[in-house]
Amino acid sequence: MSYLDHEGVRLHYELEGREDAPVLVLSNSLGTTLEMWAPQMPALLQHFRVLRHDARGHGRSDVPPGPYSTAQLGADVLALMDHLGIARAHFCGLSMGGMIGMWLGTHHAGRLDRLALCNTAAKIGTPETWNPRIAKVEAEGMASIVDTVLERWFTDRFRARAPEQVAVVRDMLLNTAPAGYSANCAAVRDMDQRADLASIRVPTLVIAGTHDGSTPAADGRAVADAIPGARYVELDAAHLSNWEQSEQFTQALVAFLTA
């Protein structure tokens, strides 16, 4: 296991793949760890050197006092790249990870080669939806919201067909520190990047899920429409499309990054 101490926060990361391959940074959704990308790793390592990390408040990374901000989460990614001597990289983020990708594309485009924004939106929810969730997690723990989250993250048919895969994601959520989850919820709650999207000049792919109840496909389409030249792909999946339609997700991502 590898760690970086950045501004008093210890970040857990893994860097895998050939040293001469282009670097791809993967950024996770709220409530998951770097293992969220397990379905993609065998294929991605054929093409890229892959950098994954646990966002602050998640997994093996520290849980500093919140609330956090999009800028903090983005700065953590840049700190990891600097620490590892990575001047430029491809970036793929899902949900909260996509939110970080938008921030990087707006403020640090020179560090990015290509950008994939998956199952995400430029604004996700409102304080009226986030504050009760924060309060519930702080009072009752992660178990109090997990079933509701999984219902939005996967279609009924996938939960019935692949209970073992759903159980892996359930464990990631249950093992997330409530304080870290709440602090990251605040970062998502306070984000509104709708006015910034048109300034992104990095080649961009947007992936959405037809049945996504957390970041609806219409939100993904709006992101793609706002970024000049962005490509749009919609998969027959809910929120974690990289699990529910893992082969199609991976094919779309690799095709875009290697074109």
Structural domains of the chain ordered from first start: 2-258 (3.40.50.1820)
pTM above the 0.75 mark? yes
Q: Kindly state the average pLDDT of the residues 168-185.
A: 98
Mean pLDDT, to the nearest integer, of 211-225?
A: 97
Q: Residues 6 or more apart from 42 whose CB is under 8 A from it?
A: none
Q: Is 85's pLDDT higher than 90? A: yes
The mean per-residue pLDDT over the stretch 138-150 comes to 98
Q: Where are the alpha helices (DSSP H) in the chain?
A: 41-44, 70-83, 96-107, 127-140, 146-153, 156-161, 163-174, 178-189, 217-226, 241-244, 246-258
What's the pLDDT tens digit per position in 16-60?
999 999 999 999 999 999 999 999 999 999 999 999 999 999 999
Tokens of 62: 């520290």
Strands (E), 59-158: 89-94, 112-118
Strands 49-53 and 9-16 come out as antiparallel
